[in-house]
């Protein structure tokens, strides 16, 4: 059975949402690793089996011998040094350099190296250090024998959250359903925007092998569909004294939008982020039916708030952990007691239905091809591998 081959090792697994997405498409986790003890607590509280396959610790301290032979290795490595919100130190930064620890594991696995790998990170990975970090990462995988595909998916096609992420899939050998890019004549698409196509065409030395992907689905839910219906006297709604300064910190454009919402005869919802603009704190309002991209709950600027306004009343509160879980496509996730732990875990995670879509539309056909043509075993050796 093909399903017997769908095993994966989940590096930088966080609270396990990569696992949830792959399992929905028939994959089975064989190994997981993360350095964060609190995220492991959440992982085990939800799945209940961390003791069977989850190793807590730094990826640099892992031995390849402890990683079982699997078909796929996933790596949602830290984005801190790649993100536009960070210091942009790239793959040499203190946290994002963990990527090279993942590469070390693959190197040391030798002939047991997984025939498939998948990376996930923020879109800024593509432009980090002028594209140098992305190129270095791709060439590191190429040196291990992988041909490569790259694409972007916005979670807003699945859930009411704007969350774009860049994915790389590497496959050992060649697959009949993937094609090599040999020229600059590569047309942009929804999953490969113009800037990604430009990178692909300008880096012909990368062993590209791209899969034709179907159109992304049309989302059917809006922000208000996933919000908890909290009564007006719920203590999680902010007091007027706390809400007023927030409105005063908005730009004229955003404050006018808030005032229109408040004066409307119907109740509507928006989301708010606290940002720093020109050296001062401001709150920005989003009213397009989407939440902004969830982030880790470290510092006040990363906590997303919900605004409920209409009929002369404006109310504000933070997103609840259950709402954050639902925005990540994991509405049934077992939540921890501490809200801050939950919000941090979901802010660092992947969107479950995005991973499921990739598993069904990219990984499944690739695995089927590889198995059918007898290329599931040893990776090809290339320069840089001893």
Does 292 lie in the same domain as 355?
no
Does residue 327 lie within any of the structural domains? no
pLDDT confidence bin for 370, thresholds 50/70/90 = low
Say what percent of the chain tops pLDDT 70.
85
Does 66 lie in the same domain as 23?
yes
- Mean predicted confidence (pLDDT) in 21-33: 97
pLDDT at 245: 87
pLDDT at 302: 59
**pLDDT of 55 higher than 90:** yes
Does 286 lie in the same domain as 166?
no
**pLDDT of 28 higher than 50:** yes
In whole numbers, what is the pLDDT of the chain averaged over residues?
87
Does 265 lie in the same domain as 127?
no
Say what percent of the chain tops pLDDT 90.
71
3-state per-residue secondary structure call for the chain: CHHHHCEEEEECCCCCHHHHHHHHCCCEEEEEEECCHHHHHHHHHHHCCHHHHEEECCHHHCCHHHCCCCCEEEECCCCCCCCCCCCCCHHHCCCCCHHHHHHHHHHHHHHHCCCEEEEEECHHHCCHHHHHHHHHHHHHHHHCCEEEEEEEEEHHHCCCECCEEEEEEEEECCCCCEECCCCCCCCCCCCCCHHHHHHHHHCCCCCECEECCCCCCCCCCCHHHHCCCCCCCCCCCCCHHHHHHHHHCECHHHHHHHHHHHHCCCCEEEEEEEEEECCEEEEEEECCCCECCCCCCCCHHHCCEEEEEECCEEEEEECCHHHHHHHCCCCCCCCCCCHHHHHHHHHCCCCHHHHHHHHHHHHHHHHHHHHHCCCCCCCCCCCCCC
Does 25 lie in the same domain as 113?
yes
Does 355 lie in the same domain as 237?
no
- Mean predicted confidence (pLDDT) in 303-326: 95
**pTM of structure:** 0.91
pLDDT confidence bin for 376, thresholds 50/70/90 = very low
* Residues 6+ away with beta carbon under 8 Å from 5: 71, 367, 371, 376
**pLDDT of 131 higher than 50:** yes
pLDDT in tens, 57-106: 999 999 999 999 999 999 998 776 566 555 566 666 566 678 999 999 99
* Residues 6+ away with beta carbon under 8 Å from 38: 341, 344, 345
Last residue of a domain, one of 297, 319, 341: 319
Does residue 338 lie within any of the structural domains? no
Which of the two residues, 89 and 258, has the higher pLDDT score? 258
Does 258 lie in the same domain as 204?
no
C-alpha to C-alpha distance for 297 and 43, rounded to whole angstroms: 18
pLDDT in tens, 166-202: 999 999 876 555 655 544 446 789 999 999 999 999 9
Does residue 224 lie within any of the structural domains? no
Does residue 378 lie within any of the structural domains? no
pLDDT at 86: 53
Which CATH number characterizes residue 354's domain?
A: 3.40.50.150
Does residue 28 lie within any of the structural domains? yes
Does 21 lie in the same domain as 144?
yes
C-alpha to C-alpha distance for 210 and 220, rounded to whole angstroms: 29
| Nearest partner of 328 among 307, 353, 306, 297, judged by Cα | 353
Does residue 379 lie within any of the structural domains? no
pLDDT at 384: 28
- Mean predicted confidence (pLDDT) in 262-275: 93
- Mean predicted confidence (pLDDT) in 131-160: 95
Does 129 lie in the same domain as 56?
yes
Does residue 253 lie within any of the structural domains? yes
Does 201 lie in the same domain as 166?
yes
pLDDT at 378: 41
Does 167 lie in the same domain as 55?
yes
Which of the two residues, 279 and 18, has the higher pLDDT score? 18
Domain count of the fold of the chain: 2
Does 54 lie in the same domain as 25?
yes
Instruction: Return the structure tokens found at 239.
Output: 């007091």
Does residue 342 lie within any of the structural domains? no
**pLDDT of 136 higher than 80:** yes
**pLDDT of 375 higher than 80:** no
**Residue 32 structural domain:** 2-219+350-372
Q: What angle do CA 60, 65, 70 make, to 5 degrees?
A: 100
């Amino acid at each position: 059975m093909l399903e017997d081959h769908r095993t994966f090792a989940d590096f930088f697994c966080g609270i396990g949402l990569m696992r949830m997405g792959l399992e929905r498409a028939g994959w089975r986790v064989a190994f997981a690793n993360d350095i964060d003890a609190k995220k492991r607590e959440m992982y085990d509280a939800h799945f209940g089996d961390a003791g069977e396959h989850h190793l807590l610790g730094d990826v640099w301290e892992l031995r390849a011998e402890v990683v079982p032979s699997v078909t796929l290795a996933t790596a949602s490595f830290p984005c801190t040094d790649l993100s536009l919100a960070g210091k942009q130190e790239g793959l040499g930064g203190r946290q994002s350099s963990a990527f090279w620890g993942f590469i070390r594991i693959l190197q040391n696995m030798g002939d047991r190296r997984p025939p498939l790998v998948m990376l996930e990170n923020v879109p800024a990975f593509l432009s980090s250090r002028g594209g140098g970090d992305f190129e270095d990462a791709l060439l590191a995988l190429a040196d291990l024998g992988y041909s490569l595909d790259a694409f972007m998916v916005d979670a807003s096609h699945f859930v009411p959250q704007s969350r774009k992420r860049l994915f790389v899939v590497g496959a050992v050998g060649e697959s009949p359903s993937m094609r090599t890019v040999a020229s600059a004549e590569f047309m942009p698409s929804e999953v490969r925007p113009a800037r990604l196509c430009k990178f692909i065409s300008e880096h012909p030395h990368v062993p590209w092998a791209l899969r034709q992907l179907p159109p992304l689905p049309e989302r059917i839910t809006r922000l208000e569909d996933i919000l908890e219906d909290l009564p007006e006297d719920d203590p999680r709604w902010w007091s007027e004294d706390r809400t007023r300064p927030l409105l005063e910190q908005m730009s004229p454009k955003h404050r006018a939008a808030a005032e229109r919402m408040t004066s409307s005869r119907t109740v509507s919802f928006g989301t708010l982020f606290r940002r720093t603009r020109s050296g001062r704190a401001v709150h920005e309002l989003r009213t397009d039916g989407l939440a902004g991209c969830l982030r880790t709950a470290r510092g006040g600027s990363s906590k997303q708030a919900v605004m409920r306004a209409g009929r002369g009343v404006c109310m504000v509160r933070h997103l609840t952990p259950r709402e954050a879980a639902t925005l990540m496509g994991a509405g049934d996730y077992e939540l921890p007691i501490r809200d801050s732990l939950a919000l941090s875990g979901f802010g660092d995670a992947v969107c479950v239905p995005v991973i499921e879509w990739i598993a069904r539309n990219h990984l499944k056909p690739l695995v089927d091809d590889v198995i059918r043509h007898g290329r599931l075993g040893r990776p090809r050796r290339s320069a840089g591998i001893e």
